[in-house]
Structure 1
Amino acid sequence: MMEIINSKYYEGYEGEGEMQFIRHLSNGDKYVLRIWDGYFDEIMRELQPEESGWTGIAYYYNVEEPWWEKPWEIPDIDIVIKQLQKIKIDQLSEQSKNLLGELCDMLSSSQELNEVVWIADE
Structure 2
Amino acid sequence: MVSSEMINNSYYVGFEGEPQLIFMYENLNVRYELQLWNGYFETLLDCLIEQANDRSGILHEYCAYEGWYEESPWEIKNIKQAIQLFKSFDPNKLTEEDGVKASKNIKSILPTLTSDIITFLEQANDIGNKVFIVYE
Q: TM-score, normalised by structure 1?
A: 0.87
Matched pairs, number: 119
Q: Could you say what the CA RMSD is over the residues aligned between the two structures, in angstroms?
A: 1.7
Helix, strand or coil for the counterpart of 2:9? strand
Runs of 5+ in structure 2 lacking a partner? Answer: 95-105
Provide the secondary structure at the position in 1 that maps to 2:18. coil
- Once residues 67 and 115 of structure 1 are traced to their aligned partners in structure 2, the CA distance between those partners, rounded to angstroms, is 18
Aligned residues of 2:6 and 2:30 also touching (Cα < 8 A): yes
Partners of 1:60 and 1:24 lie apart in 2 by 23
**TM-score after normalising by structure 2:** 0.79
Aligned-residue offset at 1:66:
6.5
Moved more, 54-63 or 101-110: 54-63
The alpha-carbon deviation at position 22 of structure 1 amounts to 0.6
- The aligned runs of 1:106-117 (5 Å cut-off) are 106-117=120-131
Q: Secondary structure at the match of 1:45?
A: helix
Displacement over 6 Å in runs of 4+? none
Q: Which amino acid aligns with 2:60?
A: Y
What is the CA distance between 1:94 and its match in structure 2? 2.2
2:67, 2:35 → 1: CA distance? Answer: 20
CA deviation string 1:14-62 (max 9, x = no partner)? 001110001222x2210111100111011101223646xx211111111
Larger Cα Rg: Structure 1 or Structure 2? 2
- Alpha-carbon distance in structure 2 between the residues aligned to 1:87 and 1:6: 21
The structure with the greater share of residues assigned to helix is 2
Alignment of 1:21-60 (within 5 A): 21-25=23-27, 27-48=28-49, 50=53, 54-60=55-61
Cα distance, 1:13–1:63 mapped onto 2, change above 3 Å: same
Give me the identity figure in percent: 29
- Tell me, in whole angstroms, the C-alpha distance in 2 between the residues paired with 1:13 and 1:94: 17
Partner of 1:82: 84
